[in-house]
Every structure is written in structure tokens, then in C-alpha cells.
Amino acid sequence: MPIKKNKNINELIDDSFMDKNKFSMTIETMVKDSNKSINYIDAICDFCETKDIEVESIVKLIAPSLKEKIKAEATRLNYIKKTTRGVLPI
């Protein structure tokens, strides 16, 4: 009969707590594994639903790179207006 190894305290802490990098990697993996059938916004909503947490509470976990992808996706889906840099005509 094989002996079951217990997780050490560091592994338990790592499994329980999220940081920006871990959260971003989780969302990226969800989108990648779905072959882009779900987008970043849906992946975040699905993650929050699965973990039974409020979407508003994960704002601090969104890394700048993930935030840019979400913003580009929201712009493409017309959830937010396209921003234009003020360029004067020549």
C-alpha cells in the first residue's frame, strides 16, 4: 500500500492564496485551454463563480498585462468606446 504524502505548509498556502501572477496565469490558461472559445471577461466571471467570490473583489489581482487584454477585448466587443489619441490634422 503506497504511503500518501501530506502537503507541507507552503504548498497549502500557495494553493489557498492568489497573487497577480497566479491569477493572471489561471485566467490565461482558462482562455488557452478553451481554444479561445471563451474570452478573458467570461473566464474571469467563470473563475469567480467557481470560487464563489464577487467579481468586484478580484480587481487588485488583475495584472497590467491582463488589464490591457481585457480592455482590448471590451473595445472589440463594443463594451467600451474606442479611445483615440488626440492627433491634430496636418
Range of the domain at 23: 19-76
As a whole-number percent, the residues of the chain with pLDDT over 90 amount to 40
In a domain, 29, yes or no: yes
Q: What is the overall mean pLDDT for the chain?
A: 81
The pLDDT > 70 percentage for the chain reads: 74
2 within domain boundaries: no
Q: pTM for the full model?
A: 0.72
Q: Do the domain assignments include residue 49? A: yes
DSSP string, 22-68: HHHHHHHHHHHHTTTSS-HHHHHHHHHHHHT--GGGGGGG--HHHHH
- Predicted confidence (pLDDT) at residue 40 exceeds the cutoff of 90: yes
Q: Does residue 90 belong to any structural domain of this protein?
A: no
Domain for residue 69, yes or no?
Answer: yes
pLDDT tens-digit map of 18-37: 788 889 999 999 999 998 79
Q: Which residue has the higher pLDDT, 78 or 11?
A: 78
How many domains is the chain built from? Answer: 1
